[in-house]
Amino acid sequence: MRTLHHDLVVDTCLFSPLQLQPRALFAQSWNGLARWFAANVCSFPSLLGDHHFGMVFLGIHLAYHEPVGFFDADVIGQEVTVRLLRQGSRLELVSRYVGRGRECGDGRLAAEVRCTLCPVAITEPRSLAAQPAPFPEDIQRCFAEDERGTSTAPRVVPALLEEISRGVPLGERQTPFTIHRHMAEVADQWSFSEIPCLCEASREHLVLEQVGRAPELGQALALPLRTVDVELARPYYSFDRGVTSTQAASLGGKLAFVHRLGATLPGTPVHGIVVERYG
């Protein structure tokens, strides 16, 4: 498989006091996919404007590995691989982040982001409205033989929800939000890189309001995240109003949060579910 290598020079906005920012890793992974496509298939403007195809996210898994803080590395090396799956109807993106220099020396794996995407055919060029469809043959031919597969990664969020439901409830909260254009992309729908921000806002509101009643919640401010799992079903569009319904639980002393991204109208299906785990 062809691997794209790119160095991110460390700056303060890449990090929180605890670790690499989830939002930064999501955004850089999307940019890494754009870089890989530009090197091996075509640029994103050509993909959308000439081939009339785009991609939407179905699932995302972020796993933190070795600790890497702001002062630990001079650069964060990004390693990107891409596979075409299920006869061109799915795409797998893997983006690994390796700290180098200073305390990290020759390399320390900080995090890995794995994404499952669905190709979509653009049916209306001005609005970029689209519907699911396999990539056409001219795009599929750009993938090497070992960059093709038959099956996608299994869904993990349902099993995580079942596991967390057996934990000790610690609190819950609903946090409303509006998708303003600084949270959107060129099609005027939400950028997936904003998902960690919506969840973090709701999580920290919950912790600050309820930590006096449930001291275990304080771990969410003191410990780094271990994993983030996302399953998406529907997009938001600019100026949509939504709500993050957040539940916290303890599993054997380890903290977990479930965020359901919904709409303000009753009975509306959820747009996505996010599970964050600590410890």
Q: Are strands 272-278 and 254-263 parallel, antiparallel or unpaired?
A: antiparallel
What is the Cα–Cα distance from 42 to 40, expressed in whole angstroms?
7
State the Cα–Cα distance between residues 239 and 263, nearest whole angstrom: 12
Task: Return the CATH number at 174.
Answer: 3.10.129.10
Residues in CB range of 180: below 8 A, 6 or more apart = 238, 239
Rounded distance between C-alpha atoms, residue 233 and residue 270, angstroms: 7
Tell me: do 117 and 170 sit in the same domain.
no
Q: How many CB atoms lie within 10 A of CB 165?
A: 11
Backbone angles phi, psi at 28, to 5 degrees: -70, -30
Q: Are residues 174 and 122 in the same domain?
A: no
Q: What is the pTM of this model?
A: 0.96
Task: Report in angstroms the alpha-carbon separations of 276 from 51, 184, 213.
Answer: 37, 23, 21
Query: 175 and 137 in one domain?
Result: no
* Tens digit of each residue's pLDDT, the chain (279 residues): 999 999 999 999 999 999 999 999 999 999 999 999 999 999 999 999 999 999 999 999 999 999 999 999 999 999 999 999 999 999 999 999 999 999 999 999 999 999 999 999 999 877 788 999 999 999 999 999 999 998 888 899 999 999 999 999 999 999 999 999 999 999 999 999 999 999 999 999 999 999 999 999 999 999 999 999 999 999 999 999 999 999 999 999 999 999 999 998 878 899 999 999 998
SS3 88: coil
Number of independent structural domains in the chain: 2
Q: What is the DSSP letter of 189?
A: B
- Helix, strand or coil for residue 53? strand
174 & 247 share domain: yes
Range of the domain at 161: 157-278
Per-residue model confidence (pLDDT) at position 125: 79
- Tokens 């799915």 label which residue? 90
Cβ atoms of 68 and 8 closer than 8 Å:
no
Are 107 and 197 in a shared domain? no
